[in-house]
Amino acid sequence: MSWNEPGSNKKDPWSGRDQQETPPDLEELMRGLQERIHRIFGKGLPGTGGANAPAKTIGLIVTVVLVLWGLTGIYLVDEGSRGVVTRFGRYIETTMPGLHWHIPAPIDKVEIVNVEQQRFMEIGYRSGGRQQSLGSVPKEALMLTQDENIIDIRLAVQYQIKDAKAYLFNVAEPDVTLKEVIESAQRAVIGKSTMDFVLTEGRGQIADNIKSEVQHILDQYQTGLRVTNVSLVDAQPPEQVQSAFEDAIKAREDEQRLKNDAEAYRNEVVPKARGAAARLLEESEAYKQKAISKAEGEAARFRQLLAEYEKAPEVTRERLYLDAMQEVFEQTGTVLVDVKRGNNVIYLPVDRLGKSPASASQVRDADTPPVGQELSESGARNVRSTTARGREGRGQ
């Protein structure tokens, strides 16, 4: 049934238009929204009025929010650190120490990296807070040497960050990578060395070789790390054979000590022997020169004496006799005094004059004539006869 048929309850499209609800007016909606904002934020700021007051308030609030958001982009980089700026995760720049600004989050992000801090890593062992060793870590410490011996190595490694950008972006976990590189380089260096070399004189060289190898690999990976020091904390055989190796090490130390003592004794004795030999040579040379000079002097004296003897033989013989007697009596403690106008000769035991009275009495007891006693006539005659024979001999 159509809408225009008789008896139809349907109305035409235009009927009842005045009674239908009309959609709300846009101006009325905006006015209602402004009234609500006005009720929330008050009646507006001083000096504002009318319908524009709420809009100005909203603009001011937005401005303040933007200013506060911009202030969050100010950051400070401390001395010894670097600031790495990224924008939506992409690297932008590296800032030096000082005060800087970046676009606030979530657009830009800054990560502060300390490039002067000395970082520490333990390989093969773990220590407590006061450097108390908690024992070995076999997985990291035990390794094979060139002569197929197992050795327990413990390293202490110090390192720094030399490139903040490379440290953050080139490797996912730089510290873990460093640990793995150290273990690899350590096994490579130890595998080229004998056990005796590692345990004795090669400790310093082993540490230097490990440091060089680790730094070379880190530079190839571009990790941005710098190894500053590698110390060989301990190097020892496995616990099962450690006592035997300690005895062997003590024996080597005793051997080296004995060698050093022998070398020190040699260095002390050899110079003395050489000095004594040189002194004997000098003394023999001096004695040689003295003997030659004395012989030459005696020969010259004899030639001079011969010339005088040829001139006056009697006088020369008398002089020689007196000199000979003087030499003889100089070697004895007896003095003979020839008394003028008399036949007595006084005997003076000069060698006994300085003795004590007890010694003098002992001399008297032995029938020795005291000081000043005159000789007997027979003794005087013997002396005079001896003198006469000497004179007769000089006259021949």
Residue in 344, 345, 320 with CA at minimum distance from that of residue 335: 345
If DSSP codes are grouped into helix, strand and coil, which group holds residue 344?
A: coil
What are the extents of the domains in the chain? 26-71, 74-114, 119-237, 329-395
Predicted local distance difference test score (pLDDT) of residue 379: 42
Predicted local distance difference test score (pLDDT) of residue 338: 64
Mean pLDDT for the stretch of residues 121-145: 77
pLDDT of residue 287 exceeding 60, the answer is: yes
pLDDT of residue 292 exceeding 90, the answer is: yes
Of these ranges, 61-75, 90-104, 305-319, the one predicted with the greatest mean pLDDT is 90-104
Higher local confidence (pLDDT), 243 or 223: 223
Q: Taking a C-beta distance cutoff of 8 angstroms, is the pair 379, 344 a contact?
A: no
Higher local confidence (pLDDT), 380 or 241: 241
Q: Taking a C-beta distance cutoff of 8 angstroms, is the pair 124, 141 a contact?
A: yes
pLDDT of residue 284 exceeding 80, the answer is: yes
- Model confidence pLDDT, tens digit, residues 181-225: 999 999 999 999 988 888 878 888 999 999 999 999 999 999 999
Predicted local distance difference test score (pLDDT) of residue 186: 93
Predicted local distance difference test score (pLDDT) of residue 163: 92
Measure the CA angle with vertex 206, ends 235 and 225; round to 5°: 110
Predicted local distance difference test score (pLDDT) of residue 160: 94
Structure-block tokens of residue 205: 């060289």
Output the CA torsion sign for 367, 371, 377, 382: positive
Q: Taking a C-beta distance cutoff of 8 angstroms, is the pair 96, 131 a contact?
A: no
Q: Which range has the worst mean pLDDT, 145-149, 186-190, 209-213, 361-365?
A: 361-365
Query: pLDDT averaged over the chain?
Result: 77
Q: Which range has the worst mean pLDDT, 21-25, 177-181, 274-278, 379-383?
A: 379-383
Amino acid identity for residue 23 in this structure: P
pLDDT of residue 80 exceeding 70, the answer is: yes
Predicted local distance difference test score (pLDDT) of residue 48: 47
CATH architecture of 119-237: 2-Layer Sandwich (3.30)
Predicted local distance difference test score (pLDDT) of residue 344: 59
pLDDT of residue 346 exceeding 90, the answer is: no
Relative to beta strand 150-161, strand 225-236 is antiparallel
Predicted local distance difference test score (pLDDT) of residue 290: 92
Q: Is the peptide bond before 370 cis (omega within 30 degrees of 0)?
A: no
% residues pLDDT > 90 (the chain) = 35
Rounded CA-CA distance 23/209 in Å is 87
Predicted local distance difference test score (pLDDT) of residue 259: 94
Q: Which range has the worst mean pLDDT, 191-200, 247-256, 313-322, 357-366?
A: 357-366
Structure-block tokens of residue 260: 């050093």
Q: Is the peptide bond before 97 cis (omega within 30 degrees of 0)?
A: no
Mean pLDDT for the stretch of residues 101-130: 86
Predicted local distance difference test score (pLDDT) of residue 215: 94
Q: Taking a C-beta distance cutoff of 8 angstroms, is the pair 218, 178 a contact?
A: yes
Higher local confidence (pLDDT), 395 or 303: 303
Rounded CA-CA distance 86/267 in Å is 71
pLDDT of residue 373 exceeding 50, the answer is: no
Predicted local distance difference test score (pLDDT) of residue 337: 65
Mention every residue, 6+ apart, whose C-beta is less than 8 A from residue 2.
8, 10
- Model confidence pLDDT, tens digit, residues 9-66: 555 544 544 444 444 555 675 666 567 655 655 544 444 454 465 677 787 887 888 8
Amino acid identity for residue 289 in this structure: Q
Rounded CA-CA distance 218/197 in Å is 27
119: β partners: 159
Higher local confidence (pLDDT), 35 or 227: 227
Q: Which range has the worst mean pLDDT, 47-56, 69-78, 233-242?
A: 47-56
Residue in 343, 340, 334, 396 with CA at minimum distance from that of residue 371: 334
Structure-block tokens of residue 273: 């022997």
Rounded CA-CA distance 335/349 in Å is 7
- Model confidence pLDDT, tens digit, residues 304-324: 888 888 888 888 888 888 888
Predicted local distance difference test score (pLDDT) of residue 58: 81
Question: pLDDT band for position 249 (50/70/90)?
Answer: confident
Predicted local distance difference test score (pLDDT) of residue 285: 93
pLDDT of residue 248 exceeding 60, the answer is: yes
Rounded CA-CA distance 153/202 in Å is 13
Q: Is 170 exposed, middle or buried (0-12, 13-18, 19+ CB in 10 A)?
A: middle
Helix-helix angle 26-41:53-71, to 10 degrees: 60
Ramachandran sector of residue 81 (left: φ over 0; alpha: ψ -120 to 50; beta: rest): beta
Predicted local distance difference test score (pLDDT) of residue 83: 93
Rounded CA-CA distance 110/108 in Å is 7
Structure-block tokens of residue 287: 């004695």
